[in-house]
Amino acid sequence: MFLIVGLGNPEKKYEKNFHNLGFLAAGDCAAALGVKFSKKECEASVAVGYVGGEKILIARPVTYMNASGRAVLQLVKKYKTEPSRLVVIYDDYDLPKGHVRIRPGGSAGTHNGMRSVIAELGFSDFARIRIGIRDEQQQIPLIQYVLSDIRKEDYELFASACNRAAEAALALARGESIDCVMGRYNG
């Protein structure tokens, strides 16, 4: 089984925020597999699909962003997910807006949701797909920025980035090497 987790905040008022790009990309994963988020388990909304006969679990934690690690840990324990079979998708202020970057591991950077995931899991050697949100023209505090809505003029850019992130996650779930996926989608 392969586990794909998109990070975000659960309430409707956060739906169009930069901080919910992980949720949007997870939704694109589910749509590509023709499945819906139809059940709740382990503090997450979950969709289950299959790729080449293999079960793919797509999750959106229903905790707030800063406590995302609780849901991820519960799912990893329940499904005995190996680090090599886990991918987390999230927004990243350290990357320019619309850029997608895949890495096989690393630190949380400035992202509190990833900080929670790494702290709860106790390891950081799992794939992560980051969607860049930094806009040099926006000069507001980081916390206000990540919780602000995506501007209409940028919607297509971010929709495309989420779709690329979903494609990359599903490529990893199909068994493609991280090096191959990084070569195709980073940038």
CATH architecture designation of domain 2-185: 3-Layer(aba) Sandwich (3.40)
In this predicted model, what pLDDT tens digit does every residue of 143-165 receive, in sequence order?
777 777 888 999 999 999 999 99
Produce one character per residue of 56-95: b if its CB has 16 or more CB atoms within 10 Å, e if not.
bbbbbbbbbbebbbbbbbbbbeebebeeebbbbbbbbbeb
Catalytic status, residue 99:
no
Give the global pTM. Answer: 0.94
Catalytic choice (19, 99, 101, 128): 19
Q: Is 36 exposed, middle or buried (0-12, 13-18, 19+ CB in 10 A)?
A: middle
In this predicted model, what pLDDT tens digit does every residue of 83-92 receive, in sequence order?
999 999 999 9
pLDDT > 90: percent of the chain: 79
pLDDT of residue 187: 67
Q: Domain residues of the chain, as ranges?
A: 2-185
CB-based contacts of 75, cutoff 8 Å, min separation 6: 3, 5, 41, 42, 44, 57, 59, 81
Q: Is the pLDDT at 137 greater than 70, yes or no?
A: yes
